[in-house]
């Protein structure tokens, strides 16, 4: 059985309910007497609030209560950030749940309205008149740092929220270099858009003083921890529950004002209160991702050896510091800008900047896509500069198999890998030489075909708690698991991770089924409830299987260990002489006699005849803290054609060769790779938030914000190599973000390769038809090449 | 996402609908609701009364006659797609309908609703203009007929007056078999960044007897690319000639910058798509 | 959003200037402008319903005609707030004599915030130029009455 279940293409257990509309999302909750809350939001990016006139509400039936920022000032704590990178001079500015003096981005909340129905609520939100005094606004991080730029916060001169550096000295390497390549890249702002917008329902029990908040969160325990502080209530009286959550991509990590306000209102009004985000609100107020301007320099020899890389990044953090906001462009970005390459010297310097825009936080990959984009684009730029095939440059610089564990210039220790193997497999699968010949032939006909590579590595499986502390994350990064075998042999598994679409109800059941030898259907995975799970740190940073799964494996092993002692007692043999296989305990070498785990469990609960030192019952918990991050890696290749007349980029092929260690469920891994790759393609070709000079978000709906669509995608090809990580009991590495991390530069490299006959070296993302077309027009006019 | 309060009235006849339009304050007709209802949910539209015309039999007429197709205002897109005779006689129309939005929208949305809404990037606008559609309206003064070239007055502004009802659209079936609708969708909305309807008729010697091309999405308003007709009529088609014709046809539009899509890009796209639609139509 | 354009009106600059500063004429000619009520400081309280067909935003606020140079130029400043957001217009308007009458030109910008800015990008400039066109056509008709 163990052979069958681990590594098997098991259908997702959760899909039975999800695909039939039987999922239970937060917005599905209906409670007797439930009220509806909504937020009056600023249409200005920067303005002083002169007055709020709520008189019109008196004419509306069903308005229960209005709270303004002034009403709540002093009653609610500031919304905090939970990541304070060391030595970064981080300005932890106040973030009130409702603005009381100034609004700082379009969408900033100024009042909360509670009503008896959503219809009344929306009428009421419109009826409130806010008198604003508009102030000059700034949406661009470089403009925000300039002298005389509008100031968002008194305590952050020139809008600098943080300044952080890491790495080694690079001067010497740059002096020795034959070639120095310099580029400035803009990595545009992205809007996560999970299928389910955010939602929160809160209910206060006057008798017990307990507040329950159901919320769309990736990490209910972190929410409880932060919200207890903001609301000023004891942590054990606050319960946070994440039921089914329809995707997050990082946007449901943060603790937002809205969920806190709902909790406050429910307690204050002694009535259940619901708030549901509209898609329009989602565009404006749920955290955005990326938004970097990066100055990068690469020093190399003319025969393709990279000597040093240095990066100066300007990260737009938005109007306030989001929960993980400061950690994303520093720790998760600046420590891995050398990528998968053995580069002696590297440094990063990061400015985090406040602007009149939606706060920026983690978005699938969080920092690592930004770092990977830089190094992968630089590799291709360098290759072009020295006239070498970009594959050859990669081959010469990738960390070699015998160098692991490899310590990079920032002190990270890459666990294990065979980077060249994924590259070789990709080249063979593609028939690379033939593809280059085809490209040359098409160029003769004036057609543009491009091939782009990304040989990435990333750090995930966040991560040892000691490191979390060292890098300023205000929490631990271990994970908890409890495996409970019920008297009949059925199993409930409790995990502190909080999967919300990644399929761990299935993969975790597979891990436990493998360890305990019980059928998959007998295992239920419970997650996302602070009352049912003692503690946990949630799901993000591709940590759930590596860390949460690790905890689970340990807990399951502890269950088996205890059962084994009882089995020995039942079989009347010494414990050392008991073997456990596929759910049955046997005396060593004797397969005729034996007891099943189920029989042992029943005896453990009956406790009629236990060894004198054995407690009744059968369950075990584990609090597992990994020894290091995990470092999945691989080679992604995009093949594109460019329609020079329209500027349209067509993806002809996309190949992903990934190594995430042993695969627990190939179908789920493929699904993660597919989704991730498509999100990265989205950044390369389609997505991008645009603001106008006054800080109005111009891409505030799907009419203007382009998500990748099935019609724009080829059939994705996925392959795997397997290099276990020595850092966790299962040897697994995260795979939730690799696709996003790898695909953006692969696609952009492919387009630049296609356009190289025109002398085009770089274009700003997204490489939309007009961007590409205008570049081709300009190149033809200036160079006359075609 | 909740509309502001409105009254709902269902009309059983055209006359009743016209009465309601006149009597009810700020009344608006509801056909398939695929454009109006989202606007109401965003509260960009706040009609006082919705007059539901979906049950009026007369508006559901759909006939392919020898000389023309008559499409009642309530005929839904999927009905157009399912009509085999129309596919044979005016393939341009189902080709355009097939690329409108998604199956859900195509099962609710109506041809008449699209015409009345007059979205400047609507796929059908190009078909109406290229195939000389005629809009038949009923109002307090009786029937009024409007030619396609007089229909699109502004973005979301058709010739339909607030007290009038669009009853049906008639399209002559005098067209040759060489027809094509080609669309370059906006990457976000899926609306046409440039949608081109082309009709080409050939003389026995292979030369172009007549050609009609119209463009939607690219310009500020949908337009008939008459420059194409001028360039190609009586000529023998060649790649070079089609290119020149497309250039002249695209010049008939008025273009404006729109975020990342500059006026120059839009005009270029109109040119490219005209050329491709001509090639596709003439090969069909 | 930039607002820029011009229109030749068959009337003298003086007549055009008078028409385009007369609240009654403006309410008649400006599509969607419902009401202008003079205030003591020389500005107006204004009620607007701007848009096309069924898509309309209701705004109330102030309208001011500043920097008046009789018969030559002025600046139009309009601030409106409504349930779905705001619209602020700042236009400089010039009146130049030409053989046919008067070339009225305007140059400035409109700031739009809220739902319209967020979801209306595809249409917003087309609608603005449509409204301006309509406005000038109406003005041209008014001017004809004055001349004729």
* Measured CA distances, C98 to A514, A693, B257, C10, C95 (Å): 90, 36, 30, 9, 9
Question: Could you state, in order of their start, the residue ranges of all structural domains in chain A?
Answer: 2-20+478-624, 31-132+208-245+257-263, 289-462+628-781
Fold annotation for A289-462+628-781: Aldehyde Oxidoreductase; domain 4 (3.30.365)
Cis previous bond, A527, omega within 30: no
Least Cα distance to B212 among B223, B202, B226, B194 occurs for B226
pLDDT tens-digit readout, A599-615:
999 999 999 999 999 99
Cβ proximity of A742 and A636 under 8 Å = yes
Cβ proximity of A527 and A493 under 8 Å = no
Q: Is B239 on the interface with A (CB under 8 A)?
A: no
The C-alpha angle with vertex B191 and arms to B187 and B196, in degrees rounded to 5, equals: 110
pLDDT tens-digit readout, A144-153:
999 999 999 9
Show residues of chain B in contact with A646, CB under 8 Å: 184, 268-269, 272
**Closest-CA distance of chain A to residue B182, Å:** 14
Q: What is the reported pLDDT for A1?
A: 42
With tokens 């591709």, the residue in question is A542
| Per-residue pLDDT tens digits of chain C, which is 148 residues long | 889 999 999 999 999 999 999 999 999 999 889 999 999 988 999 999 888 877 888 899 999 999 999 999 999 999 999 888 899 999 999 999 999 999 999 999 999 998 888 888 778 888 888 888 889 999 999 988 876 5
CB atoms inside a 10 Å sphere around CB C19:
24
Cβ proximity of A362 and A253 under 8 Å = yes
Going across the sheet that includes B68-72, the strands are B62-64, B68-72, B165-172, B134-139, B142-147
pLDDT tens-digit readout, A284-309:
999 999 999 999 999 999 999 999 99
Q: Report CB contact under 8 Å: C123, B156.
A: yes
Q: Is A466 on the interface with B (CB under 8 A)?
A: no
Residue of C nearest to A700 (CA): C118
Fold annotation for C2-147: Alpha-D-Glucose-1,6-Bisphosphate; Chain A, domain 4 (3.30.530)
Residue of B nearest to C122 (CA): B258
User: Model confidence at A786, in pLDDT bands (50, 70, 90)?
Assistant: very low
* Measured CA distances, A779 to A386, A766, A767, B253, B273 (Å): 22, 19, 16, 26, 22
Fold annotation for A31-132+208-245+257-263: Aldehyde Oxidoreductase; domain 3 (3.90.1170)
Cα A296 from Cα A334, distance rounded (Å): 12
User: Model confidence at A279, in pLDDT bands (50, 70, 90)?
Assistant: very high
Mean pLDDT of chain B: 96
With tokens 């003298």, the residue in question is C12
- Is pLDDT at A93 greater than 50 in this prediction? yes
Residue of A nearest to B263 (CA): A770
What DSSP state is assigned to residue C83? T
Q: Which of C116, C118, C125 to mutate to test the interface with A (most CBs of A within 10 A)?
A: C118
- For chain A, the chains sharing at least 3 beta-carbon pairs closer than 8 angstroms are B, C
Mean pLDDT calculated for residue range B165-185: 94
Q: What is the reported pLDDT for C147?
A: 63
**Rounded CA Rg of chain B:** 19
CA dihedral sign, ordered A197, A203, A204, A205? negative
User: Model confidence at A415, in pLDDT bands (50, 70, 90)?
Assistant: very high
Q: Is A769 on the interface with B (CB under 8 A)?
A: yes
Mean pLDDT calculated for residue range B170-199: 95
- Whole-model pTM: value is 0.96
Cβ proximity of A163 and A329 under 8 Å = no
Q: Report CB contact under 8 Å: A284, C84.
A: no
Out of C84, C85, C118, closest to residue A701 by CB = C118
Contacts of C45-48 spanning 24+ positions with Cβ under 8 A? C46/C78, C46/C80, C48/C80, C48/C87
Q: What is the reported pLDDT for A3?
A: 53
Least Cα distance to A498 among A459, A462, A525, A467 occurs for A525
Cα A585 from Cα A599, distance rounded (Å): 10
**Closest-CA distance of chain B to residue A758, Å:** 19
CATH of domain A2-20+478-624: 3.30.365.10
**Closest-CA distance of chain A to residue C82, Å:** 8
Name the CA dihedral angle for A751, A753, A755, A761, rounded to a multiple of 10 degrees: 90
Cβ proximity of A546 and A460 under 8 Å = yes
Q: Which of A704, A765, A771 to mutate to test the interface with B (most CBs of B within 10 A)?
A: A704
Two tokens at C12? 């003298």
Burial of A753 (0-12, 13-18, 19+ CB in 10 A): buried
- Is pLDDT at A785 greater than 60 in this prediction? no
pLDDT tens-digit readout, A478-504:
999 999 999 999 999 999 999 999 999
Say yes or no: do domains A31-132+208-245+257-263 and A289-462+628-781 share a fold.
no
- Helices and strands per DSSP (H, E), number in chain A: 21, 28
pLDDT tens-digit readout, B101-114:
999 999 999 999 99
Least Cα distance to A161 among A175, A145, A149 occurs for A145
pLDDT tens-digit readout, A712-765:
999 999 999 999 999 888 999 999 999 999 999 999 999 999 999 999 999 999
pLDDT tens-digit readout, A539-598:
999 999 999 999 999 999 999 999 999 999 999 999 999 999 999 999 999 999 999 999
Cβ proximity of A632 and A604 under 8 Å = no
Longest dimension (CA), chain B: 63
pLDDT tens-digit readout, A637-682:
999 999 999 999 999 999 999 999 999 999 999 999 999 999 999 9
Q: Report CB contact under 8 Å: C83, A127.
A: yes
- Is pLDDT at B176 greater than 90 in this prediction? no
CB atoms inside a 10 Å sphere around CB C133:
14
Q: What is the reported pLDDT for A2?
A: 44
- In angstroms, how far is CA A331 from the centroid of its own chain? 14
Give the residues across from A656 on adjacent strands: A636, A718
Q: How do strand A289-300 and strand A306-318 relate by DSSP bridges? A: antiparallel
Two tokens at B164? 């009038």
Out of C81, C85, C121, closest to residue A698 by CB = C121
Least Cα distance to A672 among A624, A704, A720 occurs for A720
**Closest-CA distance of chain C to residue A432, Å:** 42
What DSSP state is assigned to residue B199? E
**What percent of chain A lies above the pLDDT cut of 70?**
99
Q: Report CB contact under 8 Å: C55, B45.
A: yes
The C-alpha angle with vertex A68 and arms to A67 and A69, in degrees rounded to 5, equals: 130
Q: What are phi and psi of A267, to 5 degrees?
A: -70, -40
Mean pLDDT calculated for residue range A771-778: 98
Of all helices (H) and strands (E), which one includes residue C62?
A: strand C55-69
Out of A43, A283, A692, closest to residue C114 by CB = A43
CA dihedral sign, ordered A543, A544, A549, A555? positive
Give the residues across from A779 on adjacent strands: none
Q: What are phi and psi of A38, to 5 degrees?
A: -150, 160
Longest dimension (CA), chain A: 92
Give the residues across from A388 on adjacent strands: none
CB atoms inside a 10 Å sphere around CB A216:
28
Buried b (16+ CB within 10 A) or exposed e, A498-523: bbbbbbbbbbbbbbbbbbbbbebebb
DSSP-derived secondary structure for A56-78: GGGGSTTEEEEEEHHHHBTTBPP
Cα A574 from Cα A568, distance rounded (Å): 6
ipTM, 2 dp: 0.96
| Direct distance between the N- and C-terminal alpha carbons of chain A, in angstroms, rounded to an integer | 62
What DSSP state is assigned to residue B76? B
Cβ proximity of A188 and A688 under 8 Å = yes
**Closest-CA distance of chain C to residue A118, Å:** 16
Least Cα distance to C78 among C57, C97, C64 occurs for C64
Cα A62 from Cα A125, distance rounded (Å): 13
Q: Report CB contact under 8 Å: A123, B5.
A: yes
Q: What is the reported pLDDT for C124?
A: 84
Cα A593 from Cα A570, distance rounded (Å): 11
CB atoms inside a 10 Å sphere around CB A302:
12
| All residues at 6 or more sequence positions from A140 whose CB lies less than 8 Å from its CB, including other chains | A316, A355
């Amino acid at each position: 059985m163990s052979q069958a279940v681990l590594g098997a293409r098991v259908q997702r257990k959760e899909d039975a309910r999800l695909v039939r509309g039987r999922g239970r999302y937060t917005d599905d909750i209906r409670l007797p007497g439930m009220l509806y809350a909504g937020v009056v939001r600023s249409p200005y990016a920067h303005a002083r609030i002169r007055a709020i006139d709520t008189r019109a509400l008196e004419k509306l039936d069903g308005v229960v209560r209005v709270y303004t920022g002034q009403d709540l000032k002093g009653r609610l704590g500031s919304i905090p950030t939970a990541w304070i990178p060391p030595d970064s001079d981080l300005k932890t500015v106040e973030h009130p749940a409702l603005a009381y003096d100034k609004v700082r981005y379009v969408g900033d909340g100024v009042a909360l309205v509670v009503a008896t129905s959503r219809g009344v609520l929306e009428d009421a939100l419109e009826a409130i008149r806010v008198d604003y005094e508009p102030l000059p606004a700034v949406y661009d991080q470089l403009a925000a740092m300039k002298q005389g730029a509008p100031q968002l916060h008194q305590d952050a001169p020139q809008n600098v929220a943080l300044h952080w550096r890491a790495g080694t000295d690079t001067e010497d390497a740059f002096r020795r270099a034959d070639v120095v390549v310099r580029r400035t890249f803009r990595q545009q702002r992205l809007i996560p858009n999970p299928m389910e917008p955010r939602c929160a329902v809160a209910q206060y029990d006057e008798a017990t003083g307990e507040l329950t908040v159901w919320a769309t969160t990736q990490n209910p325990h972190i929410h409880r921890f932060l919200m207890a502080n903001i609301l000023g209530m004891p942590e054990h009286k606050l319960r946070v529950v994440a039921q089914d959550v329809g995707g997050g991509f990082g946007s449901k990590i943060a603790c937002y004002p809205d969920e806190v306000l709902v909790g406050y209102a429910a307690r204050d009004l002694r009535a259940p209160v619901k708030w549901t985000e509209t898609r329009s609100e989602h565009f404006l107020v749920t955290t955005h991702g990326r938004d970097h301007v990066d100055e990068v320099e690469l020093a190399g020899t003319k025969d393709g050896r990279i000597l040093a890389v240095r990066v100066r990044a300007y990260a737009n953090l938005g109007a306030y510091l989001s929960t993980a906001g400061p950690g994303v462009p520093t720790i998760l970005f600046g420590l891995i800008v050398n990528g998968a390459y053995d580069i002696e010297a590297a440094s990063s310097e990061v400015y985090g900047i406040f602007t009149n825009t939606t706060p920026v936080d983690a978005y699938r990959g969080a920092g690592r896509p930004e770092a990977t984009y830089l190094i992968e684009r630089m590799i291709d730029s360098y290759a072009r500069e020295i006239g070498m095939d970009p594959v050859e440059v990669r081959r010469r610089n990738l960390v070699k198999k015998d160098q692991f564990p490899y310590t990079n210039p920032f002190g990270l220790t890459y666990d294990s890998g065979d980077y060249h193997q994924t590259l070789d497999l990709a080249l063979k699968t593609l028939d690379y030489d033939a593809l280059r010949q085809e490209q040359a032939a098409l160029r003769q006909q004036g057609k543009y075909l491009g091939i782009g590579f990304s040989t990435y590595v990333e750090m995930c499986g966040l991560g040892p708690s000691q490191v979390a502390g060292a890098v300023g994350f205000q929490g631990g990064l271990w994970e908890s698991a409890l495996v409970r075998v019920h008297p009949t042999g059925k199993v409930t598994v409790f995990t502190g991770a909080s999967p919300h679409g990644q399929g761990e109800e299935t993969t975790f059941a597979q891990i436990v089924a493998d360890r305990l030898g019980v059928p998959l259907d007998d295992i239920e995975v419970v997650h996302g409830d602070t009352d049912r799970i003692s503690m946990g740190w949630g799901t993000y940073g591709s940590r759930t299987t590596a860390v949460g799964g690790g905890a689970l494996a340990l807990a399951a092993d502890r269950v088996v260990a205890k059962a084994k002692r009882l089995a020995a007692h039942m079989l009347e043999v010494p414990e050392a002489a008991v073997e456990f296989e596929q759910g049955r305990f046997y005396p060593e070498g004797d397969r005729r006699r034996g007891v099943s785990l189920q029989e042992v469990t029943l005896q453990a609960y009956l406790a009629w005849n236990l060894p004198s030192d054995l407690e009744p019952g059968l369950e075990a918990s584990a609090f597992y803290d990994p020894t290091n991050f995990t470092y999945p890696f691989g080679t992604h290749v995009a093949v594109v054609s460019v329609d020079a007349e329209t500027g349209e980029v067509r993806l002809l092929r996309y190949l992903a060769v990934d190594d995430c260690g042993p695969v627990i469920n190939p179908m789920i891994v493929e699904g993660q790779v597919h989704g991730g790759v498509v999100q990265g393609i989205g950044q390369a070709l389609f997505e991008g938030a645009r603001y106008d000079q006054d800080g109005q978000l111009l891409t505030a709906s799907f009419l203007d914000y382009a998500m990748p669509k099935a019609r724009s995608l080829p059939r994705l090809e996925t392959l795997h190599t397997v290099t276990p990580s020595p850092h966790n009991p299962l040897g697994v590495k995260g795979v939730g973000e690799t696709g996003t991390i790898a695909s953006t530069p692969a696609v952009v490299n492919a387009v630049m390769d296609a356009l190289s006959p025109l002398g085009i070296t770089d274009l700003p993302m997204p490489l939309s038809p007009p961007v590409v077309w205008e570049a081709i027009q300009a190149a033809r006019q200036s160079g006359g090449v075609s | 996402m909740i509309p502001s309060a409105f009254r709902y009235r269902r009309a059983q006849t055209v006359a009743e609908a016209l009465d309601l339009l006149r009597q009810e304050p700020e009344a608006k007709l509801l056909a398939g609701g695929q454009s109006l209802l989202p606007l109401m949910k965003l509260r960009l539209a706040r009609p006082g009364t919705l007059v539901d015309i979906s049950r009026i039999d007369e508006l559901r007429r759909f006939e392919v006659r020898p000389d023309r197709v008559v499409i009642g205002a309530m005929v839904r897109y999927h009905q157009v797609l399912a009509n085999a005779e129309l596919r044979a006689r005016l393939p341009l129309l189902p080709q355009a309908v097939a690329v409108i939005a998604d199956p859900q929208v195509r099962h609710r949305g109506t041809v008449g609703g699209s015409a009345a809404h007059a979205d400047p990037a609507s796929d059908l606008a190009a078909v109406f203009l290229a195939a000389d559609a005629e809009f038949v309206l009923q109002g307090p003064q009786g029937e009024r007929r409007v030619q396609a070239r007089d229909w699109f007055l502004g973005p979301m502004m058709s010739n339909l007056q607030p007290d009038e009802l669009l009853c049906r659209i008639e399209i002559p079936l005098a067209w040759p078999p060489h027809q094509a609708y080609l669309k370059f969708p906006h990457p976000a909305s899926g609306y046409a960044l440039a949608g081109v309807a082309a009709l080409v008729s050939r003389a026995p010697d292979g030369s172009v007897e007549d050609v009609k091309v119209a463009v939607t999405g690219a310009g500020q308003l949908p337009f008939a690319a008459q420059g194409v007709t001028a360039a190609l009529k009586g000529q023998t088609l060649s790649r070079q000639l089609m290119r020149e014709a497309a250039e002249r046809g695209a010049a008939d539009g008025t273009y404006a910058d729109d975020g990342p899509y500059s006026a120059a890009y839009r005009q270029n796209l109109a040119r490219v798509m005209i050329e491709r639609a001509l090639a596709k139509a003439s090969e069909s | 959003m930039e607002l820029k354009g011009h229109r030749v009106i068959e009337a003298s600059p003086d007549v055009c200037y008078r028409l385009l500063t007369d609240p009654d004429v403006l309410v008649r000619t400006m599509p969607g402008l419902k009401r202008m009520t003079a205030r003591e400081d020389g500005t107006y309280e204004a009620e607007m319903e701007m848009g096309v067909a069924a898509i309309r935003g209701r705004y109330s606020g102030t309208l001011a005609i500043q920097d008046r140079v009789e018969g030559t130029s002025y600046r139009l400043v309009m601030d409106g707030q409504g349930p779905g957001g705001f619209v602020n217009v700042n236009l400089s308007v010039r009146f130049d004599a030409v053989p046919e009458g008067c070339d009225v030109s305007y140059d400035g910008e409109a700031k739009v915030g809220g739902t319209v800015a967020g979801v209306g990008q595809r249409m917003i400039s087309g609608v603005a130029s449509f409204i301006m066109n309509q406005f000038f056509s109406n003005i041209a008709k008014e001017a004809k009455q004055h001349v004729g």
